[in-house]
Amino acid sequence: MSLTTCTIHVTQRQERVIYLTSELARSIKLSKTKSVILHLGSKSVTAGLRLLKKTGNHLHVPLSIMSQLHIPYLGTSTIVSHNGKDIRIGPLIGILTSVNGSTSAPFGSRTEFIRQFMRVGAEKSYYFGFSPNDVNWSQQTVTGTFQRKEGGGWYRKTVPLPDVVYNRLPSRKAEKLVSMNAFKQRFVRKNIPLFNWAFYDKWDVYNLLEGSDAFRYVPESHINPSSGQIKEMLDRHKFIYLKPTGGSLGIGIYRLTYNPKRGYYARFRRSGKNVLLRFSKFDSLMSLLNRTNGRLNHYVAQQGIRLIELDSCPIDFRFHLTKNINNNWVVAGIGAKKAGKGSVTTHVRSGGQLMTPDQVLRQVFGSRADQVLDNAKETAIKLAEAIERNEKHLLGELGFDLGIDQNERIWMFEANSKPGRSIFKHPALKGEGKAALQHVYDYCLYLSRFRARRDS
Ligand SMILES: Nc1ncnc2c1ncn2[C@@H]1O[C@H](COP(=O)(O)OP(=O)(O)O)[C@@H](O)[C@H]1O
Ligand SMILES: [Mg+2]
């Protein structure tokens, strides 16, 4: 089913009648009817219908209906009718984030990303950014921040509640508040799909996978480990990672190593530098870590994985997955990350280098590179499907940090529900970056029922 777009015009007439060109009426399969219900987001109005014997897809709306429906501007939009009588224009896509009121960068450092996302469906949809404060539940409206068609600036405009909400709230802390949860639930209760519910803690994800086939890709992990557990894991695995369960960007991560002859080593990052400390006794190592009652709270202790290496630096991968128009997971882009010398993680900010998976896998696996990559892609899809099965909310994107060990086994270190897009800065991955945004837009069409759903 291809989508129909139309140009919306305003008429100066007083009657509550909308005019459609007959070509448009045919292409959206409108019934022979004298009145229709016109919808935009959560608002709708009943209006008389007249056909214009003209070619092209045009919709003419009187000023009164334009303002009742809060149509944000004249121009082009997608138009559908699922039953021949209700006509929907849109989709009205709301990006939930924090908004600072600036007219040049209203979404702070996320402005460029949001601008790029808005470019994908421009001329076919209405996009706006909004924060929880912008919603007026009693009026069923949102004061959204829209992009100007020319000049790249931004302006605010009140519109109906959107057809779909893409959650990109940036703060882990704010998102954990009870009030934020209640805010998001209000959309769910109104049947407005909201996807990417909240940030994941590492432990949440490991838990979501437990019991599924995909659990075998998670290295052995323990939450709030005791000293005894850490010692026992070090004895068995020889090296482990300690990671804050709600952390990101490698902040607060320790890599502990045990060498029966020389003792214990701790590697971590402090004040922008990589630090390596040696301890002859386990207890001295433990005094480095900030424990209460013998436990390292809000941390996960995880089996260390011997990753493949280039120039003696470990490599891991970011798999960026999105849903597509058919509600299936696709691997939209893959970046390879080579750790900086002496760094415990592969983040670029700690000296890591971004590469393409091809560059890395050819060097490590030679002619078998494609096979290894295909296997990793399949694994990433399995992981996404398993997470989704156990997740009660909608998910549109997942960013996995995956490792491949020296025996070619695949491991998952974390899943990000609002993945960053830094891998797409690589010149060879720009096209994949665009494709990822296109899939998210298509998923918005699917959720907002601007495309036929398979399940309906
Ligand atoms: N269990 C592990 N074994 C080997 N390397 C790991 C392990 N856990 C994490 N790493 C490395 O550290 C990086 C950061 O870990 P991750 O779990 O993604 O935390 P963050 O949220 O800080 O990004 C990973 O991309 C990987 O390179
Ligand atoms: Mg990570």
Using the mean position of ligand 2's atoms as its centre, give its distance from the Cα of residue 250 in Å. Answer: 7
Q: What is the pLDDT of residue 290?
A: 77
Q: What is the pLDDT of residue 453?
A: 43
Structure tokens at 308: 């493949």
Alpha-carbon distance of 116 to 318, in angstroms, equals: 21
Q: What is the pLDDT of residue 138?
A: 97
Q: Is the distance from the beta carbon of residue 241 to the nearest atom of ligand 1 less than 6 Å?
A: yes
Cβ atoms of 400 and 383 within 8 Å: the answer is yes
Residues in the chain predicted with pLDDT less than 70, given as ranges, are 1, 452-456
Q: What is the pLDDT of residue 293?
A: 80
- For residue 240, the surrounding DSSP H or E stretch is strand 239-244
- For residue 447, the surrounding DSSP H or E stretch is helix 430-447
Measured CA distances, 235 to 79, 110, 258, 261, 264 (Å): 64, 44, 7, 13, 11
From the centroid of its chain, how far is CA 13? 44
Query: What are residue 372's phi and psi, to 5 degrees?
Result: -65, -40
Query: Which residue lies with its CA nearest to atom 2 of ligand 1?
Result: 304
Using the mean position of ligand 1's atoms as its centre, give its distance from the Cα of residue 183 in Å. Answer: 32
Cβ atoms of 303 and 218 within 8 Å: the answer is no
Q: Name the residue of 205, 241, 309 whose CB sits within 8 Å of the most ligand 1 atoms, as the mutation to test its pocket.
A: 241
- For residue 435, the surrounding DSSP H or E stretch is helix 430-447
Q: What is the pLDDT of residue 456?
A: 39
From the centroid of its chain, how far is CA 109? 16
DSSP SS3 for 70: coil
Q: Is the distance from the beta carbon of residue 249 to the nearest atom of ligand 1 less than 6 Å?
A: yes
Ion ligand 2 nearby residues (CB, 5 A): 401, 414
Structure tokens at 169: 């709230």
Q: Name the residue of 401, 405, 409 whose CB sits within 8 Å of the most ligand 1 atoms, as the mutation to test its pocket.
A: 401
Buried b (16+ CB within 10 A) or exposed e, 359-385: ebbeebbeeebeebbeebbebbbbbbe
DSSP SS3 for 64: helix
Ligand nearest to the CA of 343: 1
Using the mean position of ligand 1's atoms as its centre, give its distance from the Cα of residue 306 in Å. Answer: 12
Query: What are residue 409's phi and psi, to 5 degrees?
Result: -75, 150
- For residue 303, the surrounding DSSP H or E stretch is strand 299-303
